[in-house]
Chain A
Amino acid sequence: MKTWELLASIALALTPGAATAQTAAPQGPGPAPGAGPAPGQRLTVDITGGISNKMPIAIPVMPTPNAIATPAGSTDTLGNQVSQIITNDLKNSGLFAPLSQDQLRPVSFPQVSAPDYGAWLPTGAQALVQGFVQANGDGTLTVGCYLYDVFAKSEMVRQGFVVKPSEWRRGAHKCADTVYSRLTGEGPYFDSQVIYVSETGPKKNRTKRLAIMDQDGANHRFITNGQSLVLTPRFAPNRQTVVFMSFENDQPRVYVYDVGSGRKRLVVNQPYTTFAPRFSPDGRSILFSMIVNGNCDIYRVSASGGTPVRLTTSPGIDTGGSYSPDGSKIVFESDRSGTQQLYVMNADGSNQHRISFGGGRFATPVWSPRGDLIAYTHLGGGFAVGVMGTDGSGAKDLTNGWQDEGPTWAPNGRVLMFFRTAKGSGKADLWSVDLTGVNERAIPTPLDGSDPAWGPLLP
């Protein structure tokens, strides 16, 4: 017995190969800390921290297969204008740096679908937008739209838009939207309209009229004559109806206005002051505030009329209701805690709870069309426009003007428009800002402007 045990231990001791292999093996193939990959393994290069530059993009003049006169002008002239509109849209987004005219080169019609990548490489453009404008036999126009990746030498997206000559600009906006969405991952927003209050006259006696314009300021038109003061216009989802507050007959009340027919009617035919109206996402009902016996609460009424339903009952001022995009919740402002703060409740008025807890007061909440954020006016030292999560988390001011207020969301939830009142003169102008807090930009309007409401994307 002992003999065999001894022999066994000797045998074990005499197999150094195995022992050596065991100790050496882990050290062999495994790289030492900080060393490169093991032999035969692919090297991985870590690139961290991307640069946030605007993307250089080339948008040459769009050619036409045949220069044909249309009610909107000759198709070759239109090709120039369309590329210019696309250029402006992308530039105004703040995310792109379109090449200047002298960096661009002419593109022939056949080249539209077969780009000369080599010629664009030296310009530094990372993306190339080409297209054409063509007059169709039925009187319509086709705007062809192609997006190319210059360095990958590949087509990224192509689309054609058939438009009436009177809506030729929309063909350009649609093309810009296509490019923007493909390159940024965001939803489109260029083919949309804004309604706002156009202001003129002395500080104490302003004339205020409703005006509608394209998102880029084109096709501007007034829809009220300025005899009565108007405030807070808001689009219905179908964009054919607008709801706003007017001081007609010196009584501030909410009206529904049909853009097509120009007719308007009272939302609630009662002798109370009504204000702060807003449509529900499905357009079937309207939220508004009403002061009854000195108590201001939020009500809901069918867009076609009827009896209002009271949603809040607190003794303070509850106003500024705005639906979540799925229509299930409402964000509003209330001073029930002593100061103006933001609250969220279910669409039926249940489960009211406060979401804003930062310093200062919060007003004019608007739920993002994406559903993830709430924009507001922050009243602290001054007025700033900011955003927070729907639970109040991550609140941050995006602007820092003297008096910035009344935010409204672009249809894609990436851009906000608001109005900025100048110190002293009291003159207001429309501005926009990117959700990331960059690209603060004045929106050109013929007169002063306030209270903008960004309409939904056009179909």
Chain B
Amino acid sequence: MERTDQKGLGFAVVAHLLLFAALTISIAKRVPPVQPPQEAMDVQLVDAVGLRSAAPNPATEAPQEMQAPEQAPPQEAPPPAPSPTPPQPKPVQEKPRPTPPSPTPALKPKPQPPQKALSDILKDVRSTAKSEQAGSDAKAKADRAASEKVGALLKGVLGASAGKGENARAPITGAAMNGLAAAIKRQVQPCYELGGLSGTPAMQIVTTLRLRYNKDGSVAGNPQVVEQTGISPANRAYAQQIADVARRAVLRCAPVHLPAELYEGGWDDLNFRFTPGQMQ
């Protein structure tokens, strides 16, 4: 009895010690790496997006519309005109006019600013990401025992910023993608003209196009209709036409002006979702 008690007691003590050690190790491994990098990324990136648009903090719709006129010039530029026709600038300028309430957008010059702004942001994004990551790297080094698996996970989360490969082609961060989407939307939106489809049941059809851009911002090949939703017997007759106006929008508002460093894996291959009516 006593012997077995002692054995049992000894075993229990050893086991508890083991358990304590195991829990300590697993907690040490688990907690620190996962959370910080993600939070840091999000916060920094949102700031960056806000800064770029040089507008009130929430960089949502207002700044996008403000900059709409900037998209017009590139549209004029591409076709070198043989015949001196004044009408072309007219329609282009007229379209943006109604949208911006203030006269300032007209003063903002050319498509270059957004381009520079974007790449600036990108730099911001990268540098912040790097510094953040340096910190987390340090922590990770301190806790080498945990580094192997979690490090791999981190790379997936951080994407472009992981490791020293700042020059390597790496996936673009989500926030940078958001900035891209906003920039593209601003450049294509002014060409989304419904013509006679306006006010018809065609307005209920949402068209998704797949589109590839060349590096110079021109459209590569023919935009393909990926999906149309909202088709009913009342508007089926307009399905082709509502796809046509979407396709025409991306073709007319090309070339787009976007940061070259975000081309691959960013704006080289895109989906456009065209909703004719205003979002509810």
Q: Which residues from chain A sit less than 8 Å from chain B, CB to CB? A: 3, 6-7, 9-10, 13-14, 16-17, 19-21, 23-25, 27-29, 31-32, 34-40, 42-56, 93, 95-96, 99-100, 103, 105, 118-119, 121-124, 126, 149, 151-152, 183-186, 372, 435-438
Contact = CB atoms under 8 A, between A and B. Distances in A.
B48 to A, nearest CB: 13
A20 B196 contact: no
B91 A35 contact: no
27 contacts: A10-B15, A10-B19, A16-B29, A21-B153, A23-B30, A28-B156, A28-B157, A37-B174, A39-B172, A43-B267, A43-B270, A44-B273, A45-B270, A48-B277, A49-B278, A50-B277, A52-B195, A53-B91, A53-B194, A55-B193, A122-B81, A122-B82, A183-B241, A184-B241, A185-B239, A185-B240, A436-B199
Nearest to A151: B251
Given A43-B266, A152-B248, A24 B15 contact: no
A42 B270 contact: yes
Greatest chain B CB density within 10 A among A25, A43, A48 is at A43
Interface in B168-224: 171-178, 180-181, 184-185, 188-190, 192-200, 202-203, 208, 210, 222
A10 B22 contact: yes
B175 A35 contact: yes
A58 B14 CA distance: 90
Nearest to B202: A185
Contact of A50 (B78, B79, B171, B193): B193
A437 B267 CA distance: 40
Contacts of B112: none
Nearest to B247: A152
A45 B25 contact: no
Contacts of A152: 222, 247-248, 251
A401 to B, nearest CB: 20
Contacts of B248: 126, 149, 151-152
Nearest to A117: B79
A50 B267 contact: no
Contacts of A21: 149, 153
Given A36-B181, A43-B266, A105-B83, A50 B274 contact: yes
Contacts of B276: 49-50
Greatest chain B CB density within 10 A among A16, A25, A149, A435 is at A16
Nearest to A17: B149
B11 A36 contact: no
B191 to A, nearest CB: 9
A36 B175 contact: yes
Given A24-B153, A31-B174, A32-B174, A119 B192 contact: no
A38 B177 CA distance: 10
A184 B267 contact: no
Given A32-B174, A45-B181, A99-B87, A23 B156 contact: no
Contacts of B198: 50, 52, 436
Contacts of B278: 48-49
Interface string B221-264: 01000000000001001111110111111011000000000000
Contact of B176 (A24, A29, A36, A45): A36
A-B CB proximity, top 10 nearest? A36-B177, A35-B174, A16-B26, A52-B198, A95-B196, A39-B171, A122-B81, A436-B199, A36-B174, A50-B194
A30 B95 CA distance: 39
Interface in B140-171: 149-150, 153, 156-157, 159, 171
Given A27-B38, A372-B234, A46 B185 contact: yes
Nearest to B275: A48
Nearest to A180: B196
A53 B195 contact: yes
Given A95-B195, A184-B195, A13 B173 contact: no
A36 B278 CA distance: 22
Given A32-B38, A55-B193, A46 B181 contact: yes
B127 interface: no
Nearest to B159: A39
A37 B269 CA distance: 13
Contacts of B159: 39
Nearest to B150: A20
Given A19-B26, A43-B177, 10 more contacts: A16-B29, A37-B177, A40-B171, A44-B272, A45-B181, A47-B275, A49-B279, A126-B248, A184-B241, A372-B234
Given A20-B149, A53-B195, A185-B240, A13 B23 contact: yes
Contacts of B150: 20, 24
A368 to B, nearest CB: 12
A7 B265 CA distance: 49
B271 interface: yes
A17 B149 CA distance: 7
B79 A32 contact: no
B95 A123 contact: no
B34 interface: yes
A99 to B, nearest CB: 7
A7 B14 CA distance: 11
B85 interface: yes
Contacts of A103: 85, 87
Contacts of A186: 196, 237
B241 A28 contact: no
Nearest to B254: A151
Nearest to B155: A28
Greatest chain B CB density within 10 A among A17, A27, A39, A184 is at A39
A357 to B, nearest CB: 23
Interface in B20-50: 22-23, 25-26, 29-30, 34, 38, 42, 46
Contact of B156 (A9, A29, A55, A96): A29
A44 B270 contact: yes
Contacts of B197: 50, 184-185
A49 to B, nearest CB: 5
B9 interface: no
B117 interface: no
Contact of A49 (B149, B172, B180, B277): B277
A194 to B, nearest CB: 21
A437 to B, nearest CB: 8
Contacts of A45: 181, 184-185, 188, 270-273
